[in-house]
Amino acid sequence: MTAETVAIIPARGGSKGIPGKNLALVGGVPLIARAVRTCTQISGIDRVVVTTDDHEISRVAREWGADIVLRPEELASDEASSESALLHAIHELSHRGVEMATIAFVQATSPLLPRRELEAAVSMVRGGTADVAFSARESYEFFWADTADGAWAVGHDAAHRPRRQDREALFVETGAFYVMDAMGFRASGHRFFGRTEIVVVPEQTAIDIDTPADLRLARLVASAFPEEARDAGPIDVDAVITDFDGVHTDDTAIVSETGEEHVRVSRSDGMGVRLLREAGVPILILSTEVNPVVAARANKLGVEVIQALSDKESALRTWARERGIPLERIAYVGNDVNDLGALEAVGWPIAVPDSHPLVAASARSLLTRPGGHGAVRELAERVLAARRPAPLTEGMRP
């Protein structure tokens, strides 16, 4: 039996600061799913395991490709250490016949896991150049302690203020990952032992979510790094729901002297909708306004439309429940703040270019074509791509 490199992600269900924290969305994807997704993409990691006490975390983690170790209640309390959860997972996996050479302890609450640096840490420990390799950011900060007797300098001389370029860098743990030799960890029971190496990660990735403010910041930062935060491939869903203005249109309107509105739409979007309908994908348009142009366009496309909505999320949930379609199997496309509830309710929240920043931050995927200029066609092509059978490899062709 070949010893494996196993990524272990602790993710308990209880959280006082942010209820359900490990299922909170960043870039439209639950934190636990982001961690699993990153680890499955790392060269050198053979298996991804989530240790949890929570049914919903287990379900989501399995869907994204992780094995599950159910953690007993006493190891999922506020007082339980991460090391105790790791040791329990190792014990359970050994009973399943999993032999480990290297452990990558990964935190789901670090949503911008740097892939290249995690891969480098795995390589260092697997290659024997380190017993432990962990993520840290470079720091030139001056630290102070605030005591009853006043503030005092920590680690520097307050009377001497050298320039940044004249100081040596120190390093601050980010908590994102700790890669360890499995035998050494079992022997020490702690994440630091033997030869320990720092893996410097980009400062913008060094976000650890502990408070609602951290979560808001992570969502905004993730939206600025689409290569780290977004799904750009096929969209595997069973239904498509869209906003109208800004998605089917370019979010402008021409108003005649009689008050009639005219909007710009894309013929290619019409073909995209037709292809989805022919593939049996249900389509719904949700709109907050009552506007004849919306009804006329929906009628032309042959799709359902619901107008005069003050709460798109409730309408979406009702529509999905009546048709027996799970919310996680729905794509919703929006562009403005009245779409946020619907975006957060579905498995595939999607935004068009130039969306409101909060919408972009909530999206799992950002389309490249603007509203009214082929956004719906692009969405259709990606949904249909997920339904096509994978091409046969050379060795499988008759």
Which H/E stretch holds residue 171? strand 170-181
Number of domains in the chain: 2
Shared-domain flag, residues 98 and 187: yes
Dump the DSSP string for 77-107. SSS--HHHHHHHHHHHHHHTT--EEEEEEE-
Asked whether 200 and 137 are in contact (CB, 8 A), the reply is: yes
In this predicted structure, the answer to whether residue 396 has a pLDDT above a threshold of 50 is no
Shared-domain flag, residues 216 and 276: no
> Cα separation of 369 and 296, whole Å?
23
Average pLDDT, the chain: 90
Asked whether 283 and 304 are in contact (CB, 8 A), the reply is: yes
Q: Per the domain annotation, does 160 fall within a domain?
A: no
Q: Per the domain annotation, does 153 fall within a domain?
A: no
Shared-domain flag, residues 213 and 330: no
Q: What mean pLDDT comes out for the span 325-335?
A: 96
Q: Per the domain annotation, does 221 fall within a domain?
A: yes
Residues 364-379 pLDDT 10s: 998 999 999 999 999 9
Shared-domain flag, residues 299 and 333: yes
Shared-domain flag, residues 197 and 292: no
Q: Per the domain annotation, does 164 fall within a domain?
A: no
Residues 237-270 pLDDT 10s: 999 999 999 999 998 877 777 777 778 889 999 9
Average the pLDDT over each of 30-39, 156-165, 188-197 and give the range with the smallest value. 156-165
Give pTM, 2 decimals.
0.78
In this predicted structure, the answer to whether residue 64 has a pLDDT above a threshold of 50 is yes
Residues 103-113 pLDDT 10s: 999 999 999 99
Q: What does the pLDDT read at residue 193?
A: 96
Q: Per the domain annotation, does 163 fall within a domain?
A: no
Shared-domain flag, residues 83 and 211: yes
Dump the DSSP string for 211-241. SHHHHHHHHHHHHT-HHHH---S----SEEE
Residues 141-171 pLDDT 10s: 888 999 998 998 888 888 888 888 888 888 9
In this predicted structure, the answer to whether residue 390 has a pLDDT above a threshold of 70 is no
Shared-domain flag, residues 69 and 174: yes
**Domain residues for 51?**
4-139+170-226
Q: Look-up: residue for tokens 């170790």?
A: 69
